[in-house]
Chain A
Amino acid sequence: MENASFPVLSYTTFLPLVGAAILLFINRESRETLRWIALVFMLADFAVSLAAYFMFDSSTATMQLVESHPWVRDWGISYKLGIDGISLFLVLLTTFLGPICVLAAWNDIQHRVKEFLISLLVLQTGMIGVFVALDLFLFYVFWEIMLIPMYLLIGVWGNPARRLYAAIKFVLYTVVGSLLMLVAILALYFMAGAGGEGYTFDLLKLYEFPVPTHAQYWMFLAFFLAFAIKVPMFPFHTWLPDAHTEAPTVGSVMLAAVLLKMGTYGFIRYAIPLFPNAALDAAWWICLLAVIGIIYGAWVAMVQADVKRLVAFSSVSHLGFVMLGMFAFTAQGVEGSIIQMVNHGLSTGALFLIVGMIYERRHTRLIAEYGGISKVMPMYAVFFMIFTLSSVGLPGLNGFVGEFLILVGTFKVYPWYAVFGATGVIFAAVYMLWMFQRVMFGEVTNPKNLSLKDLSGREFVILAPIVVFCVWIGVYPNTFLKPMEPSVKNFIQVVEKKRAAVLDLEKAKQKSAGNGTTIAVTSSLETIGR
């Protein structure tokens, strides 16, 4: 694949980093300037990514706008970027939220503005990088880089109570997973290399390489751990509520809207296509976990006293849907889960913004502290309502399309999972509306709430575009479904084909006690007792 004429992806990825670099040299006292520069760079980044969107040809499934330059030659590491229908919208989502986050932090963050904006921009680069990388090494680098600014966001600007605990918990959780994944990456690299493909970290080349099943299990396990923690899937989710609760608004937004998607994206881009046999063999169990997550998250969310915590657990539930659809492994399921990634990014991100706005005013996240807010903040109430409904999955808004596709897709394969998953829809209504009611409805019991000001112009500007997209996806999802259609189809075919190929290969080997260095390496992998 030759390089794209105009390295739009590199620009998208590194523009924020440039911004960060520039900020380094701005006097920390002139906060407005800092904010404006950050905002400008985020907007520019969004513009560039839009350019990428328009350059994107939605009729083909191949990687597009590919840029590939050798990086570490003798390890076969290359700087390779590219997007397809699957990553396209995640990139757009990220760049879209960038400026919004800067705006959201405009008044929220008052101390160490400079460091904050720098971390934010670096984080942006890391996240986009994860979505556009097509080289395992590069991917891993971005994957880890992203940790650092997030750690700072939570730890420095989080709310004093437990920010340190939450921050380190977030990091350790992630690192444990991703380091094991690193081992798997290396193992894969050497197997493929010995397997004659030539030593390379190029994802697309590695797709070709049929990993023997027993090795797949180990590697998939490692990848699964890394991604499942990030998603987070049911038993690995406990870092999420803490991180969300302690993080500053913008941190929560980025965390919910994009970081979690890195996990799901990891599955769809890496874990499944690289190890199809293991993935599909495990699908049943993973779906089980997903369903448990859906219901568990919803139930636990229901009894939370802290708005942010509640939304955090709702994320666990929503991401459960995403995983369910993905591992149902039908066209609807996968497309649904991708759409749902975007949806969750929009609605949950927006919810965190909403919560942040009122937190800015009252400095508490306890539901009990509120009540009757609608009366004092009507416009706020409207937005809050819309996002609540979109996350409840009301038809006509984005949430419905995703959840519906996922459930339909799942129902074809695992009817019972779909049935139980669907109960999540009920509980979603319960906990969201209950929360909404306790916060917004009733008399204004708490005198502190009487004097709250309604949304400012800035806040309106933050929320309005998100609403637009919520409605857009809800009413005319094809804008988003069409571009991903071919990629998803191709994804499914590729995986199925590779899976079959591996099985055939192994049958063949069983027949003629195969030679082939693959065997050698795998046997060396088997003798991992040394």
Chain B
Amino acid sequence: MIDLVWLIPVFPLIGFAINGLIGKAFSEKAIGWIGSLSVGASFVIAVSIFLELLGMDPGSRSVQKVVYTWIISGDLNVPIGFLVDPLSTVMMLVVSGVGFVIHVYSIGYMHGELGFRRFFAYLNLFVFNMLILVSSNNFLLLFVGWEGVGLCSYLLIGYYYEKKSAADAGKKAFVVNRVGDFGFLIGMFLIFVTFGTFDFTQVFSEAHAKLAQGGLLVTLITLLLFVGATGKSAQIPLYTWLPDAMEGPTPVSALIHAATMVTAGVYMVARCSILFALAPISLSVVAVIGAATAFYAATIGITQFDIKRVLAYSTISQLGYMFLACGVGAFATGIFHLMTHAFFKALLFLAAGSVMHAMSGELDMRKMGALKSHLPHTHWTYLFGTLAIAGILPFAGFFSKDEILFFAFERGAGFWIVGAVAALMTSFYMFRSVFMTFYGESRVEPEAAHHLHESPPIMTVPLMILAVLSLVGGFVGIPILKGWHVFGDFLAPVFAPAEAVLKGEHAAAHHSVALELTLMGVSLAIAIAGFFYARWMYLTEPGAAQRMVERFPGLHKLVYNKYWVDEIYDILFVNSIVRFSQFLWKMFDDAVIDGIVNGTARIARGWGAVLRRLQSGVVKDYALSILVGVVFVIGYLVLR
């Protein structure tokens, strides 16, 4: 079965081909189901591979499958090849599974849209690229998927291309990602010149030998790779594209900008765990950036009113958690959170989408409220998602996030505090969104009000599936009890080498159950605190929020405007470069170079104009010039 791994990406590709090329012939339903089932098929295969993998003994759970050699040039040899190991399998499962659900959801959500076919084609293309990304066995192929998903996100964000904001957002996403990719590219070059190959297993197995631990080279490599990660996974400083990305259709936000693509960075860092392990500096950079992002994004999330933007910032912040996990060396945990996050964040987005659906596209929570009664399913599913992300026992988010906080604490209390505060804010703004949307008194505009309706089952069923997942998803990683952390044990072999290195680094973490339990309690308390604070502010005491704002107007303004980072970037990079280019074009190209070119021509003609004047037309002047010649010639001959 593992030999058929290549089928996993191929199915969506086929779906893309069918819908893209001959889809015009089909009905909307057909197109939708072709798209969905192609992904479903991949999921089936992924599952079977997963099972097969379980059958093998943990040590040997890493299989490579090369389809053909892509590029051969000199000593460069890049195959189209797949690597099946626990990590990639998990990713494939998540991508294809969540992907499938979201596809199905989209059938309902996108119903009647003009570019229905285009949408599904792009979506399949995305899944294809994403699967390539997670299943490739070498950096270059990973980079292919990496760029590919970027492209699809560009296309899908710009799906409503007639909206300027949408098109801009798409472009912004692509360009910012390119900036990250630039770092990634350079990192790959360094890897190539060091190892002479892009192959994962080869690189990682030789890493210890070829790279001095904590050496400059490995630090450089990992940092560059991390730059790529920050681009893809919307971390400081390259996160700005993600909020704008919400211009895309909601399923896209769910699939690409919550569940899968944005986590590619995390996956890549985890994939390169050994390299990062060898570079402590980079690790701490990752951790710091992760923590900072988690905190920073959360603060912004508090103040937003656009429901999708709230989710977007929460996504950024959650991704911060994942990087924090990787940064503190708990790669498995990072992936764990990646998975759970995929479940509940997708759920949240889809639910939000369902709300929009009902509200005929309204996103502003200030125009919602008391939707509970109209959208029962949406409501409880959204609530599940919120509970999960807020980290309420026993929802999935609790386990993963708590684990992250635990490892952060082990690494340093500072990380833990930041994480905890972020968690508090998270639960606050998530419940805030719940209350503003589903509870309180309705602020819905009348004309929107009278056709409020629950979404069709094709949309709600996926919601329920995801809701269940975000409820039970955490149980695969129950801490403390030995052997109950199935997930971690499954991934363990992948991260073993990194673990080894790290263990060698700082003394073995003393697993004191007491500490762990306390931390659990604290984080649970935090979550609940957030819940109550939100409840107080947005239900029992409406207007409290307003008072808050009035108390710290400056702070609020700052946060509400996302710290004006976009504006600053515009001034710093965009405008300045455009200006400078203008200058180059007008001044240098046209003035200087062409000036010289045309100048030469003009000088030549000028001389011509001068010389022709010698031709006075008077015969005696001609005789004179002959005479001059005579003088010179004779002079030369006589005086020589």
Chain A residues in the interface with B (C-beta under 8 A)? 169, 172-173, 235, 237-239, 241, 296, 299-300, 302-304, 330-332, 335-336, 372, 374-375, 389, 394-396, 400-401, 404-405, 407-409, 411-412, 415, 418-419, 422-423, 425-426, 429-430, 433-434, 437, 440-443, 475-478, 481-482, 485, 489
Smallest Cβ-Cβ distance to B594: which chain A residue:
A238
Given known pairs A422-B186, A478-B72, the reply for A396 and B581 (CB within 8 Å) is no
Q: List 9 A-B contacts (CB under 8 A).
A: A169-B597, A238-B593, A299-B577, A331-B76, A407-B189, A422-B182, A422-B185, A433-B171, A478-B71
**Which secondary structure dominates chain B's binding surface?**
helix
Smallest Cβ-Cβ distance to A375: which chain B residue:
B162
Given known pairs A238-B594, A300-B584, A395-B143, the reply for A407 and B73 (CB within 8 Å) is no
B residues near A418, Cβ cutoff 8 Å: 186, 189
Interface: B516 (CB within 8 A): no
A residues near B593, Cβ cutoff 8 Å: 235, 237-238
B residues near A478, Cβ cutoff 8 Å: 69-72
Give bound CA distance, A415 to B190, whole Å.
9
Across the interface, do B158 and A405 meet the contact criterion of CB distance under 8 Å?
no
CB of B149, distance to nearest CB on chain A (Å): 11
Given known pairs A332-B76, A425-B178, the reply for A443 and B162 (CB within 8 Å) is yes
The answer, among A241, A394, A476, A485, for a CB contact under 8 Å with B70, is A476
Smallest Cβ-Cβ distance to B161: which chain A residue:
A441
Smallest Cβ-Cβ distance to A489: which chain B residue:
B74
Q: How many residues of B are in contact with the other chain, CB < 8 A?
A: 48
CB of B230, distance to nearest CB on chain A (Å): 15
Known: A300-B585, A408-B76, A442-B164. 18 other contacts (CB 8 A): A238-B589, A238-B597, A239-B597, A296-B584, A300-B584, A302-B578, A330-B74, A335-B74, A395-B148, A418-B189, A422-B186, A429-B175, A437-B170, A441-B158, A441-B164, A478-B72, A481-B72, A482-B72
Across the interface, do A335 and B73 meet the contact criterion of CB distance under 8 Å?
yes
Across the interface, do B585 and A303 meet the contact criterion of CB distance under 8 Å?
yes
- Counted as pairs of residues, one from A and one from B, with CB atoms less than 8 Å apart, the total is 135
Chain B residues in the interface with A (C-beta under 8 A)? 68-76, 140, 143-144, 147-148, 151, 154, 158, 161-164, 167-168, 170-171, 174-175, 178-179, 181-182, 185-186, 189, 192-193, 577-578, 580-582, 584-585, 589, 593-594, 597, 601
Give bound CA distance, A330 to B70, whole Å.
19
Across the interface, do B76 and A173 meet the contact criterion of CB distance under 8 Å?
no
A residues near B73, Cβ cutoff 8 Å: 331-332, 335-336, 405, 481, 485
A residues near B182, Cβ cutoff 8 Å: 422-423, 425-426
Give bound CA distance, A475 to B174, whole Å.
22
B residues near A429, Cβ cutoff 8 Å: 174-175, 178
CB of B72, distance to nearest CB on chain A (Å): 6
Across the interface, do B171 and A405 meet the contact criterion of CB distance under 8 Å?
no
CB of B23, distance to nearest CB on chain A (Å): 12
Give the 6 A-B residue pairs with the shortest CB-CB distance, closest first. A331-B74, A395-B144, A441-B167, A299-B581, A441-B161, A411-B189
A residues near B170, Cβ cutoff 8 Å: 437
Give bound CA distance, A446 to B585, whole Å.
28
Smallest Cβ-Cβ distance to B593: which chain A residue:
A238
Give bound CA distance, A235 to B592, whole Å.
10
A residues near B163, Cβ cutoff 8 Å: 442
Given known pairs A169-B597, A477-B71, the reply for A433 and B174 (CB within 8 Å) is yes
CB of A215, distance to nearest CB on chain B (Å): 27
The answer, among B71, B143, B148, B162, for a CB contact under 8 Å with A405, is B71
Give bound CA distance, A389 to B70, whole Å.
20
Give bound CA distance, A407 to B143, whole Å.
15
Across the interface, do A485 and B72 meet the contact criterion of CB distance under 8 Å?
yes
